[in-house]
Amino acid sequence: MSTRQILWAAFLLVHLGVAVIGWIAPGSAMGDVYLVYEPWSTKATNGEGIMGVTEPFVYPQLALVPMLLARASAWAGGYIIAWSIVVTALDAIAFAVLLGHGRRTFASQGRTYAAWFWLAGIAALGPVGMYRIDAIVVPIAILGLLWLAGRPVVAAALLAVGTWIKIWPAALLATAFIVMRRRWSIAAVSVGISAIVAAGVLALGGAAHLLSFVSGQTGRGLQLEAPVSTPYLWCTMFQQPGCSVYYDTGILTYQVTGPAIDTVIALMTPLLVLAVAAIVLLGAYKSRAGASFVRLFPPLSLALVLVLIVFNKVGSPQFMTWLIPPIVFWIVLDRVRATVPAGLALALLGMTQLVYPFWYNFVLAASAPGVVLLTIRNIVEIVLLVIVVIRVVQVPTKARVGLRETDVVDADAASFSKGL
List, for residues 311-366, the tens digit of each pLDDT value.
999 999 999 999 999 999 999 999 999 999 999 999 999 999 999 999 999 999 99
* DSSP secondary structure letter of residue 314: -
- Count of C-beta atoms within a 10 Å radius of residue 91: 23
- Of 102-111, 327-336, 389-398, 411-420, the poorest mean pLDDT is in 411-420
Helix-helix angle 38-45:64-72, to 10 degrees: 80
> What is the distance between the alpha carbons of residues 67 and 86, in angstroms, rounded to a whole number?
9
Percent residues over pLDDT 90 in the chain: 87
Higher pLDDT, 76 or 247: 247
Q: Which residues pair with 248 in a beta bridge?
A: 253
Q: Max Cα separation, the chain?
A: 63
Average pLDDT over residues 144-163: 95
pLDDT exceeds 60 at position 151:
yes
> What is the distance between the alpha carbons of residues 216 and 222, in angstroms, rounded to a whole number?
13
List, for residues 13-61, the tens digit of each pLDDT value.
999 999 999 999 988 899 999 999 999 999 999 999 999 999 999 999 9
pLDDT at 109: 86
The torsion angles phi and psi of 166, rounded to 5 degrees, stand at: -145, 125
pTM of the model: 0.94
H-only helix segments in 2-151: 3-24, 31-32, 38-45, 64-72, 79-99, 106-125, 134-146
Amino acid found at 48: E
pLDDT at 138: 98
pLDDT at 402: 41
pLDDT at 107: 57
The torsion angles phi and psi of 318, rounded to 5 degrees, stand at: -65, -15
List, for residues 68-109, the tens digit of each pLDDT value.
999 999 998 999 999 999 999 999 999 999 998 766 554 578
pLDDT at 161: 98
CA angle 336, 342, 343 (to 5 degrees): 105
Higher pLDDT, 403 or 189: 189
